[in-house]
Amino acid sequence: MSDIFERKSSFLFYKGIDGESCHFNAPAGGGGPGGFMQPGPFGIWDYRSNGFFPHPNSPAGRYLTPEKIQKNSTPKNSGQITLALLKAADSSNKEKYYESILDIMNQYAKTYAIDTPLRIAHFLAQIGHESGFKMVEEGGSYSAKRMRKIFGCKGGAKNYDALTDDASKGRLRDKLWTEEAKYANNSKNLLNYVYSSRMGNGDEASGDGYKYRGRGMMQLTGKNLYKKFTTTHNKKNPSDQRDFEASPELLNEISYGVESAFFYWDSRNINTIADSDNLTKVTIAVNGGTNGLPDREARLKRIKKELGI
């Protein structure tokens, strides 16, 4: 019976005869010797993998139907992603859409060990903020000023001066100014340039920047990540061998687009950070900074409330 006592903290309270919650250490159902969770004629008489069953002569046995027992003895934090959790993380999608991705989410949550309340909570909060659980493909078509702000300045967009249309701390990619017509409103040319010779990509002429542009629920970007995703996916899914480096457009499919988010999380070892329940560190690991931290925090709070943690 030790297993029962070890697990009791993860189970819901029961309603007693008087309508009040029955604490596990209190008399079962508001009457009778011994708590509902205690063995004996007035407590548990059978324990199976699918629930607890009270002795038929106990108060709990008289006032709780088998259906109610099963429902109330299901752990709140069962390591499963639910529709309610997805809605808590992001309310912008229709339930039908969430239903279409729920099984896939749970499949890969198990595969990538995002299977504890804290890991699930932090993962969903971050994905909710980053993509709203949508399959996203990077566009890359920007106006001249917008592309210079996003990609042109040393130190990032914060150092773009809109009044002078220049970089306050120096230009990172001068051709966005000197060859504006080539890159403005041209996603292929722009991404081949700004993603060239980094993240495993070849030079601008190679076309790798556009080929390995951001895709999926977390927008995997760069040849190196597509190559690593191929290796990881094939190892974890031996019956479904794929080559995302050769066919990067596969990430536009829902299954692989969803998995790519789990892979991204796993590739940065974020599970161990989530275990410490440190939102700032998780956000830095995901985003490289603390962009959108208040929104991520609000999502996390809603998810935790739903999980009961």
Q: How confident is the model at residue 8 (pLDDT cuts 50, 70, 90)?
A: very low
Percentage of residues in the chain with pLDDT exceeding 90? Answer: 74
> Are 117 and 47 in a shared domain?
no
Please tell me whether residues 227 and 300 are part of one structural domain: yes
End-to-end alpha carbon distance in the chain: 26
Q: Which residues contact 159 (CB under 8 A, 6 or more apart)?
A: 153, 167, 168, 169
Flag whether 77 is in a domain: no
Tokens of 39: 């063995």
* Beta carbons of 43 and 57 less than 8 angstroms apart: no
**Confidence band for 87, pLDDT divided at 50, 70 and 90:** very high
Task: Quote the mean pLDDT of the chain.
Answer: 83
Average pLDDT (36-56) is 41
Same domain, 170 and 293: no
* pLDDT for 248: 97
- pLDDT number for residue 38: 40
Classify 183 in phi/psi space as left (phi over 0), alpha (psi -120 to 50) or beta.
alpha
Q: Is 74 helix (H, G, I), strand (E, B) or coil?
A: coil
The answer to whether residue 23 sits within a structural domain is yes
- The Cα 118–Cα 304 span in angstroms is 8
Looking at the fold, whether 229 and 130 belong to one and the same domain comes out as yes
Quick one: 88 and 195 in the same domain? no
Place of tokens 């006032």: 63
Q: Model confidence over 231-283: pLDDT tens digits? A: 999 999 999 999 999 999 999 999 999 999 999 999 999 999 999 999 999 99
* Dist CA 195 CA 201 (whole Å): 7
Give residue 56's pLDDT band: very low, low, confident or very high (50, 70, 90).
low
Q: For position 63, what pLDDT does the model report? A: 55
Give the C-alpha separation, 218 to 303, whole Å. 19
Alpha helices in the chain (DSSP H): 2-7, 59-63, 66-72, 83-89, 95-111, 117-131, 144-151, 175-178, 180-183, 187-194, 208-211, 223-236, 254-267, 270-275, 279-287, 293-307
Same domain, 103 and 180: no
**Which pLDDT tens digit goes with each residue over 93-143?**
999 999 999 999 999 999 999 999 999 999 999 999 999 999 999 999 999
What is the rounded CA–CA span in Å between residue 134 and residue 116? 23
Same domain membership, residue 125 and residue 224? yes
Residues 189 and 280 in one domain: no
Asked whether residue 229 is domain-assigned, the answer is yes
In a domain, 149, yes or no: yes
Asked if residue 48 is part of any domain, the answer here is yes
pTM of the entire predicted model: 0.73
Residue percentage of the chain with pLDDT more than 70: 74
Band (59; pLDDT cuts 50, 70, 90) = low
Q: Which of 211, 244, 264 is the last residue of a domain?
A: 211
What is the predicted pLDDT for the residue at 68? 52
Task: Report which of residues 281 and 65 the model is more confident about.
Answer: 281
Whether residue 15 is predicted with pLDDT greater than 90 in this model: the reply is: no
Please indicate, yes or no, if residue 36 is contained in any of the structural domains.
Answer: yes
Residue 83 has pLDDT above 80, yes or no: yes
Residue 204: what pLDDT? 98
Residue 283: inside a domain, yes or no? yes
- Domain end (from 72, 91, 114): 72
- pLDDT at res. 28: 44
User: What's the domain count of the chain?
Assistant: 3
Q: Do 238 and 179 share a structural domain?
A: no
Residues 194 and 179 in one domain: yes
Last residue of a domain, which of 22, 53, 72? Answer: 72
Domain residue limits at 230: 83-135+217-307
What is the model's pLDDT at position 4? Answer: 38
Q: Are residues 123 and 224 in the same domain?
A: yes
Query: Domain holding 120: CATH number?
Result: 1.10.530.10
Asked if residue 229 and residue 123 are part of one domain, the reply reads yes
Q: Is 78 inside any structural domain? A: no
